[in-house]
């Protein structure tokens, strides 16, 4: 995003300091992460302290200060998924992508995260890719699933 696009997001929210989180979320949605330059522009335009922005972006897990892949993979490791083999599924996805939870591959194709529960325990183990739920997953099916996102 360039400065004009960032300014447009800020103006859309009325340059209101109380909309800081929403502004940051919108910028991140566009970039898939929060570049330092974008944060500095928000600080400048809203007149909020950098420490406040840093506190927000490091407190909420929804924010990333590192580039994310085009496709975000979330593997549920909650109790229901765990007992149905989520750890083997996670191992398979790690082998296929070459990344561990919290990492992004070098091509910025995939980012991998684990989550405590995605709320559909009857479908476990569950993988969520770009917001789409894939239930009753097995390690043997993970390669075919990832190929759909290439």
Give the helix/strand (H/E) hosting 76.
strand 71-76
Q: Is the pTM of this model over 0.95?
A: no
- DSSP label at residue 104: E
102-150 tens-digit pLDDT: 999 999 999 999 999 999 999 999 999 999 999 999 999 999 999 999 8
Cα distance between residue 140 and residue 150, in whole Å: 18
pLDDT in tens, 22-45: 999 999 999 989 999 999 999 999
**CA dist 122 to 47, 68, 116, 128, Å?**
48, 29, 15, 15
Identify the CATH assignment for 71-147 out of 3.40.50.1100, 3.90.870.20, 1.20.1250.20, 3.40.30.10.
3.40.30.10
Q: Residues 50-64: pLDDT tens digits?
A: 999 999 999 998 899
Could you give the residue range(s) of every CATH 3.40.30.10 domain in the chain?
71-147
């Amino acid at each position: 995003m360039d400065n004009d696009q960032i300014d447009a997001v800020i103006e859309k929210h009325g340059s209101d300091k109380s909309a800081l989180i929403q502004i940051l979320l919108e910028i991140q949605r566009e970039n898939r992460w929060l570049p330092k330059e974008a944060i500095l522009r928000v600080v400048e335009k809203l007149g909020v302290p950098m420490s406040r922005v840093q506190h927000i972006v490091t407190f909420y897990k929804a924010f990333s200060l590192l580039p994310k892949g085009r496709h975000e993979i979330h593997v549920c490791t909650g109790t229901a998924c765990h007992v149905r083999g989520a750890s083997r599924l996670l191992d398979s996805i790690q082998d296929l992508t070459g990344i561990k939870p919290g990492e992004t591959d070098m091509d910025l194709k995939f980012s991998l995260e684990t989550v405590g529960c995605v709320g559909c325990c009857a479908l476990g183990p569950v993988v969520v890719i770009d917001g789409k739920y894939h239930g009753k997953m097995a390690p043997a099916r993970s390669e075919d699933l990832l190929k759909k996102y290439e």
